[in-house]
Structure formats: C-alpha cells, structure tokens
Amino acid sequence: MLFASGVSLVAAVAIAIWGVMRPFPFAALGADEITVYRTERFLTESDLWRVHLRSLDALEKVTREAQEDANAATAAITTSLYALLMGLGFSLISLGTLIAELI
C-alpha cells in the first residue's frame, strides 16, 4: 500500500508538471507581419480586405490553439488530481492497517 501510494503521489506531481508546464507554440501571426500592416503600402492598397482576411484567419488559428492548449492543461490537472486522491487513499489505508495492527 505504501508503494502504491508513493507511486500515485509521484505520478500526480509528474503529470501536473509535465501536462501544465510544457511549452506550447502559440503565435500564428508574427509581430513583424503586424507591423507591416501599418505601412503606407497596405494603408493605400485598394484591396485592403485581403489584409483583414489574413488577420482574421491568423486570429482564428491562434484562438483555436489556445483553447486546445487550455483543454490539454485541464485534462492533465484532472488526471493529476485523481492520482493525488488515489495516493492519499492508499496512504489512509496503510495508516489504518498500521493502527489496526497496533491495537
């Protein structure tokens, strides 16, 4: 029981750190590209709607990626919580067994 509780608690910490703290690629639209949109070339262009479409496509992609990353972090935290609760449960069973042996 003590071994199972130790493994569960270590798994809880490992899953929480690995699942939440790992780096995710985020930007689909570079800052340099956004800066170019403010230049005279784009401001005087007759088909300015193309620039808007490119920006909206990039914002949609970034928003979807951010949501998927948040969902992955939530799943990792949930799994970590279950592993933590299992470890605490095994510890309580071990403690109860120890107390029962002493009595």
| pLDDT tens profile 34-84 | 777 777 777 777 777 776 777 777 778 878 888 888 888 888 888 888 888
89: nearest Cα among 8, 17, 12: 8
| Verdict on whether the full-model pTM lies above 0.95 | no
| pLDDT tens figures, 14-45 | 888 877 776 666 655 667 777 777 777 777 77
Q: In what helix (H) or strand (E) does residue 22 lie, and over which residues does it extend? A: none
80: nearest Cα among 8, 12, 23, 9: 12
Alpha helices in 1-103 (DSSP H): 2-21, 31-36, 40-43, 49-102
Quote the CA–CA distance of 9 and 41 in Å, as a whole number. 59
